[in-house]
Amino acid sequence: MLDLRFVTEHLEEVRAGFARRGFVDEALLDKLSALAQRRREAIVTAETRRAEQKKAGQEMAKADKSSPEFTERREALRVVAAEVKALEAARSAVEAELSELMLHLPNLPADDAPDGLDERSNVVQRVWGERPSFDFKPKDHVELGVDLDILDFERATKISGARFVVLKGLGSRLERGLMQFMLDTHVDEHGYTEIWPPAIVKDDAMRGTSQLPKFAKDAFRIAKDAEWEKENEAAGHDLYLIPTAEVPVTNLHADEILEREQLPIAYAAYTACFRSEAGSYGKDTRGMIRQHQFDKVEMVRFCAPEDAEAQHELLTSHAEAILQKLGLAYRVVKLCAGDMGFAAKRCYDLEVWLPGQNAYREISSCSWFGDFQARRMNARYRPSPKEKPRLLHTINGSGLAIGRTLVAILEQYQEADGSVGVPEALRPYMGGRDRITRD
């Protein structure tokens, strides 16, 4: 969420920033500006009246309770109380409308985010590794995995529907090994603290990292029956399956004030991720590129604003380290303003080479959010003991998407006979095997 004061005082700057993202809604910002004005007026009237009421109340405390004046005064104050109540209600109505609106505004792109509205304007930063060349026609991971009997899409469909996969034998072992390898690397070499978070979160958490309210369609909401819905409503929250570990891990410090010395904080977490992939019909329907459930190791960093950009580069390098250790050819792309996620100021996508698609495909997205998420979560730190708390900056990135890593390994390490080499770094996690073959 953006700072309301900043938005109202820099309306044109905000408008221009939004335009760079392709978010153009003249009426919205004008409405917001008017609402902000109304909000201030509502606060002033309500609080002035309330102050009068309180002052009168203090006199009542000292007054002779049995006097006729007291009774008379009490009757008069009854009217004031009703007025205050009405004014407060009006005030919270305006504030509710305003904050709902604020929740729908995207973050402002960083100055250096390239112009452009879609992926064609993304800028390649660097290319790493040599794309494997084959003296045979490379297969895609579906063919390889099915032939090796380590991926089973048909049975997954039978038991769960489209966009699921069953991993079997060394396929499962590979998925598990990758999870271990990634976490071990981030924890032991990159200094991250390991987190194993819940996979179900409240809507508050989803709002904190900004999956809600705008992207409710992409998430799986937990629903049971009418009674469950009623209980949820009474409890004041909904529950969602996490679409990424970013949600529970970032929200770890919601409503907290951290000390400067604690920063930066770096967490790494493995979780399953659940996405409804609404609106992606017909996209990546083949294989395990886009699934309703997938595994991912996520890195999350919290830091002071002045360290944020360096921290973003650092986190990106940690994601790259995984690809490098696995010997997977990839490139780093800086996303243009229009292609970035809703909450990001700047974003690097790591794209791994997939011979089966003859294309680079996203395997990690490393974003710097500024204080956008922190403001929604109310996550702050104290620069020094005497200073007022300030909002943290948050940064996160996949390190990496495990399923897509598995896909990349199958495709980049495939041999003419349909077997697949195991990257050296992974062998300890594969029981010492250096090759996956059909047994």
Partner RNA sequence: GGAGAGGUGGCCGAGUGGUCGAAGGCAACCGCUUGCUAAGCGGUCGUACGGUCAAAAGCUGUACCGGGGGUUCGAAUCCCCCCUUCUCCGCCA
Which residues of this protein are in contact with RNA, per CB under 7 A?
A: 4-5, 39-40, 43-44, 47-48, 50-51, 53-58, 60-61, 65, 74, 77-78, 80-81, 231, 234-236, 257, 380, 385-386, 388-389
Smallest distance, RNA to C-beta of residue 43, A: 4
Smallest distance, RNA to C-beta of residue 12, A: 19
Q: Which of 49, 275, 346, 375 is flagged as catalytic? A: 275
Smallest distance, RNA to C-beta of residue 416, A: 46
Based on CB atoms, which residue is closest to RNA, 56 or 117? 56
Residue 365 bears catalytic tag = yes
Q: Which of 47, 97, 194, 362 is flagged as catalytic? A: 362
Write the DSSP string, 347-361. Answer: EEEEEEEETTTTEEE
Residue 362 bears catalytic tag = yes
Smallest distance, RNA to C-beta of residue 236, A: 6
Q: State how far the alpha carbon of 165 is from the alpha carbons of 44, 62, 155, 278, 408, in Å.
A: 58, 75, 8, 18, 16
Question: For residue 216, how many other CB atoms are within 10 A of its CB?
Answer: 15
Q: Which residues pair with 274 in a beta bridge?
A: 293
Q: Where are the beta strands (DSSP E) in 210-284?
A: 239-241, 257-259, 265-274
Any idea how long the chain is?
Answer: 439
Smallest distance, RNA to C-beta of residue 388, A: 5
Based on CB atoms, which residue is closest to RNA, 9 or 13? 9
CA dihedral 114, 333, 302, 95 (to 10 degrees): 40
- Residue 119 CA to residue 391 CA, distance in Å, equals 31
Smallest distance, RNA to C-beta of residue 36, A: 7
- Note every long-range contact of 189-192, with CB atoms under 8 Å and residues 24 or more positions apart, other chains counting: 189/321, 190/266, 190/268, 190/318, 190/321, 191/266, 192/266, 192/267, 192/268, 192/299, 192/318
Q: Which of 38, 131, 290, 427 is flagged as catalytic? A: 290
Based on CB atoms, which residue is closest to RNA, 35 or 420? 35
Residue 12 bears catalytic tag = no
In contact, 421 and 435? CB cutoff 8 Å: yes
- Residue 266 CA to residue 311 CA, distance in Å, equals 10
Based on CB atoms, which residue is closest to RNA, 111 or 227? 227
Residue 38 bears catalytic tag = no
- Residue 182 CA to residue 188 CA, distance in Å, equals 10
Smallest distance, RNA to C-beta of residue 207, A: 15
Helix (H) or strand (E) holding 331: strand 330-334
Based on CB atoms, which residue is closest to RNA, 120 or 386? 386
Q: Which of 210, 365, 367, 398 is flagged as catalytic? A: 365
Write the DSSP string, 89-147. Answer: HHHHHHHHHHHHHHHTPPPPPPTTSPP-SSGGG-EEEEEESPPP--SS-PPPHHHHHHH
Based on CB atoms, which residue is closest to RNA, 14 or 319? 14
Q: Are strands 435-436 and 380-382 parallel, antiparallel or unpaired?
A: unpaired
Based on CB atoms, which residue is closest to RNA, 41 or 149? 41
Q: Which of 207, 346, 361, 404 is flagged as catalytic? A: 404
Residue 163 bears catalytic tag = no
User: Considering Cα of 336, then 342, then 344, then 350, what sign does the dihedral take?
Assistant: negative
Per 3-state DSSP, what percentage of the chain is helix, strand, and coil (rounded to 5)?
45, 20, 35
- Residue 354 CA to residue 382 CA, distance in Å, equals 45
Smallest distance, RNA to C-beta of residue 39, A: 7
Based on CB atoms, which residue is closest to RNA, 147 or 387? 387
User: Which residues are annotated as catalytic?
Assistant: 275, 290, 362, 365, 404
